[in-house]
Structure 1
Amino acid sequence: MALTIPQGGVGIGLRAPHFQDLLRDPINTDFLEIHSENYFNPHSEASAVLDRLAQQYAISCHGIGLSLGSVDPINPLHLKQLSNLIERVKPRLISEHLSWSSVGGEYFNDLLPMPYTEQALQLFGNKVDQVQQTLGRQILVENPSVYLTFKQPEMTEWQFLNRLVEQTQCGLLLDLNNIYVSSFNQGCDSHTYLAGINPQAVQEIHLAGFTVKSFDQGELLIDTHGSRVSEPVWQLYRQFIAQWPNVATLIEWDTDIPSLDVLLQEQGKAEQIRSQEVAA
């Protein structure tokens, strides 16, 4: 029987350097989130670890390879492997990105930005419908980190996501670090973005760290997931969680991965902020 994520639960991302620690000593966390593609092979060592951990912790599957924004059709093998993984570990949440990463069957190691147009919305919505029908489950779509914008967008990113929810009945994974990074890089207000998103569609929040790159023209924030959550992102978290405290929260750390204790410290800070806002 699959374990559940409690309302307002806070979890951490499952990464290979922590496999043995988690197998040896259980930790106090509400769920573990995996990168789905790392566990497609059911006979791999990683999958063997996941199968054991899924008996102790609720699981969330976070995908990076469906390329839902591409004009290419969805890779049927990829979708089948995702379906098999979901059947095996029975995750509580399933998510993907508002992005594309393939053209003409060639895949890139990047989550590339979407043009926010009616045509792109229809394309992306059709892909989301296909995935949800195949899996028999709702999926969440995550807002990306953006470093450039298309000319003459027909809507804002949050309007695109809100329309996508209306069109497909999908949910949203709101990455607050991505909001801050994208807003800083584009000279926008991250609080305006947060105020514009449909909060009732948000089922999960991601919190992560970024890297600052300095150039002659100024600074650029890079969504590296390689450091502690920044104070501006914690402020966004306070703003959102004060009104919507029952959303699940995930501490995401993908590069320069620290000891498990550091992730649990960040988890503890998220739990403390949520408790303070609920009490207030």
Structure 2
Amino acid sequence: MIAPRGQNSDNIFKTVMPSGAIPARAGVGFKAEHAVDIFENADPVAWFEVHPENYMVSGGPRLHMLTQLRERFPLSMHGVGVSLGGGAPLDKNHLRSLRALVDRFEPGLVSEHIAWSGHDGKYLADLLPTPLTSASLAHLVDAIDQMQSAVGRRILIENPTSYLALPQNSMPETDFILQAARQSGCGLLIDVNNIFISAHNLGFDANSYIDVLPGDLIGEIHLAGHEQDADTSDNVLIDTHSRPVASPVWALYQRLIDRIGAKPTLIEWDNDIPDWQMLAREAEQANRVIDACENQPRRGAL
């Protein structure tokens, strides 16, 4: 079980070292249509991320392909269905299925979103926003405790994408996610594209957000593309994962790792899937930024 809050709970799972540790290099999300290219020559990609919900089956081609992938590469499992941020009890069957996958494939990292996707026994195919309140924080910490206990592993939690400020919000998002991590002992998955989108949509400074993130809590970074909402005149940016990483997102990423050092970095591309060569080029660019930051002094890491 997790130690009570405030009693060094962040040390409980640090001794659990999976055999497939994720290197501080670029990875991409695994797509079956890229399997031939990947198994023939995956350079420059060092690891792959999958959504475990796609593999919660008893057998068949999906698990066979994932087994082949795991034999060759480290894996990260990035959940989309635990519903950590909803305040409701977590689905024990879902957690048991997740634990079975974790035990079988030994991913280097396990992560989930600060969001909710279920209510009253019904699953909603979306990642919906969690209010930034003290009550929501307490529910989130309890949910993280449940998930970490269920999978026997320290997890990472991902910062959300915001399209509007919820009226009940009572604390800055950075305070919310840092308190959640420190109270539960989990780590952070920092999605730089989410920060850029939220800053644009809500009107805060993305650089200031990046600059308060402690490097010791960050276990993984996500990069992705976005688009402007064509159905409104409000210049809202949407987290579509359907385009190359935008220049200002690359700049934020460089700002972050210049300060905290290299971290495992995922290129997310889930819609309008490009050919393998395009994904490989995005991974190459991330590796170039990593290589450049490793050859220069850190600038005041927190």
TM-score (norm 2): 0.89
SS in structure 2 opposite 1:54?
helix
Q: Which of 63, 74, 77 is the matching residue for 2:93?
A: 77
Say if 1:2 and 1:89, in contact at 8 Å, map to a contact too: no
Counterpart selection for 1:172 from 181, 188, 194: 188
Alignment-derived partner of residue 247 in structure 1: 263
Aligned-residue CA RMSD (Å): 1.5
CA contact 2:192–2:253 (8 Å) conserved in 1: yes
Aligned mates of 1:133, 1:21 — CA distance in 2 = 37
Report the equivalent of 2:113. 97
Runs of 4+ in 1 over 6 A off after TM superposition: none
Choose 176-185 or 14-23, whichever is displaced more: 14-23
Find the aligned partners of 2:205 and 2:90 in 1 and give their Cα distance: 34
Q: How far apart are 1:196 and its partner, in Å? A: 2.4
Q: Residue 9 of structure 2 aligns with which residue?
A: none
Aligned pair 1:218/2:227, yes or no?
no
- Identical aligned residues as a percent: 37
Distance between the aligned counterparts of 2:151 and 2:231, measured in 1?
Answer: 45
CA distance in 1, matches of 2:22, 2:91: 30
Structure 2 equivalent of residue 59 of structure 1: 75
Counterpart residue identity of residue 61, structure 1: M
Asked if structure 1 preserves the Cα contact closer than 8 Å seen for 2:26 and 2:44, the reply is: no
Write out per-residue CA displacement over residues 44-100 of structure 1, whole angstroms, 9 at most, x where no aligned residue: 311110101101100000000000111321111110110000011100000000001
Q: Deviations over 1:152-189 (max 9, x none)?
A: 42211110011011110100000000000111011111
**Quick one: distance in 2 between partners of 1:149 and 1:4?**
37
1:259: how far off?
A: 0.8
Residues 248-272 of structure 1 show CA distances to partners (whole Å, capped at 9, x for unaligned) of 1011100000111111100100111
Mapped partners of 2:185, 2:253: distance in 1: 24
Distance 1:27 1:215 in 2: 39
Corresponding residue for 1:205? 221
Q: 1:153 pairs with 132, 156, 169, which one?
A: 169
In 2, distance between residues paired with 1:3 and 1:216?
A: 44
- Higher deviation after alignment, 244-253 or 193-202: 193-202
Question: Structure 2 CA distance, aligned partners of 1:56 and 1:178?
Answer: 30
In structure 2, what is the equivalent of residue 189 of structure 1? 205
Q: Would you say the 8 A contact 1:172–1:204 is kept in 2?
A: yes
Alpha-carbon contact 1:176-1:206 (below 8 Å) kept: yes
Q: Is the 8 A contact 2:51 2:79 kept in 1?
A: yes
Q: CA deviation at 1:102?
A: 1.1
Aligned-partner Cα distance in 1 for 2:164–2:33: 33
How many residues are paired up? 279
Match of 2:300 in 1: none
